[in-house]
Amino acid sequence: MNMEKPGYKVPKLKEYPSGKLGSKIVHSVDKNPFPLLYVDLTHRCNYNCNYCYNPVRTLPDMSLDYFKEVCRRLPNRVAFRFMGGEPTLHPQFLEFITTANEHNHMVSFVSNGTMLADSSFVRALKDTGVPVISTLSMNGGTNNEWYRFIDNDDVAEEKITALRNLDEAGIGRIAITAIIVRDVNEGVVTELMDLSKGHKNVRYIHYRSIGKVGRFIDSEPYTLQELKQLVDSRIPHDENYKRKVKFDGLDPAPGNRCFGCMGCYEYHHNQRIEICLIDFAKPDTFTCWKRGKLIEGTFQIETFFENMVQFSSYLNNEYPEYNLKLEAGSF
């Protein structure tokens, strides 16, 4: 499945009465229309971030047998994105990767980097032989002051070690990503670009706004337009390369590359680096045609961003002791 071809047929999202958590758009795994599927492997985490949409740690891990059945029933090849919690803490993390690959699905994962700071773990990941995209969260770049505000700890050294381990192990595609908090860590935009220059296997840089779901500190999120203006001001266009836009959520015209969901702006900055800007968990993104979320314990798939809001609402009702908040709006 090639999402980049202009002729890619956008799935028509249908409304169903209710999903497991009350989402309006729900699909059976057997009829999945999404090219990208988010999967929470575990709710365990060894961080205690101030910005976390999924901070309840007592929910059970995903079963590998269940995931194998999901892989078997999917009608088309997908790109899985393993998340959590911290997905590398699942005791069968590497088996999830090889299982997806055995069913001809692509794999990426998003990690805080704790396990990746262990070179033996990274070697084991490399030894699977699966061409994964390893995404490392680097909200503070190299700056512990930013990490203390967002990740709630001094973790810069651990992040840099994890990035170095991935690069030296020859993990062929690395993504580095940051949440941009207004008037806090805008400087991380240039820091991540600078880090990419010193690590040859970094292929992707992602910047996203805060999502007012789960646990967050009150701050007005950047809009997608503001994110683009910020990144353009900090990372000038490459004079030797004509920018190639893959998905343009800033252009609402029918037929554009993002098909009007207004959630992301993604482009090739140069021959090596692809930059993606994401407006996180707002109602405009609820009908995103690209991102689906596998619903644990069911064989249902919902749109990713709407599920995030519904899941946050569920956690807020079921776990009031966590004092969670929800200001993302509704469908």
Which pLDDT does position 18 carry in this prediction?
45
pLDDT tens string, the chain, 331 residues long: the values are 334 333 334 334 443 334 555 567 789 999 999 999 999 999 999 988 887 777 778 888 999 999 999 999 999 999 999 998 999 999 999 999 999 999 999 999 999 999 999 999 999 999 999 999 999 999 999 999 999 999 999 999 999 999 999 999 999 899 999 999 999 999 999 999 999 999 999 999 999 988 776 666 677 889 889 999 999 999 988 888 998 988 887 776 655 556 556 678 899 999 999 999 998 756 667 777 788 999 888 899 988 887 777 777 777 777 777 666 544 443 3
Identify the DSSP state of 215. Answer: B
Q: Can you give the residue range of the structural domain that contains 102? A: 26-326
For residues 25 and 44, give the distance between their C-alpha atoms in angstroms, rounded to a whole number: 28
Six token digits for residue 83: 């998340």
**Number of domains present in the structure of the chain:** 1
Residues belonging to the chain: 331
Helix, strand and coil percent figures for the chain, each rounded to 5 = 30, 20, 50
In a domain, 21, yes or no: no
Domain presence at residue 11: no
307 contact partners, CB below 8 Å, separation of at least 6: 19, 21, 23, 293, 295
- Alpha-carbon torsion 229, 233, 234, 238, what sign? positive
Whether residue 244 is contained in a domain is answered as: yes
- Phi, psi (degrees; rounded to nearest 5) at 330: -140, 175
Specify if 313 maps to a domain. Answer: yes
Residue whose tokens read 């600078």: 194
Structure pTM? 0.87
Instruction: Determine if residue 129 is left, alpha or beta; phi over 0 gives left, psi from -120 to 50 gives alpha, anything else beta.
Output: left
Closest CA relative to residue 134, chosen from 104, 163, 102, 100: 163
Say if 125 falls within a structural domain.
yes
Q: Quick one: pLDDT at residue 142? A: 97
Q: Are 154 and 129 in contact (CB under 8 A)?
A: no
In angstroms, rounded to a whole number, what is the distance separating the alpha carbons of residues 207 and 188?
A: 9
Q: Over the stretch 123-160, which tens digit does the pLDDT of each residue have?
A: 999 999 999 999 999 999 999 999 999 999 999 999 99
CATH number of the CATH domain containing 134: 3.20.20.70
pLDDT tens, position by position, 62-73: 999 999 999 999
Give a yes or no: residue 18 inside a domain.
no
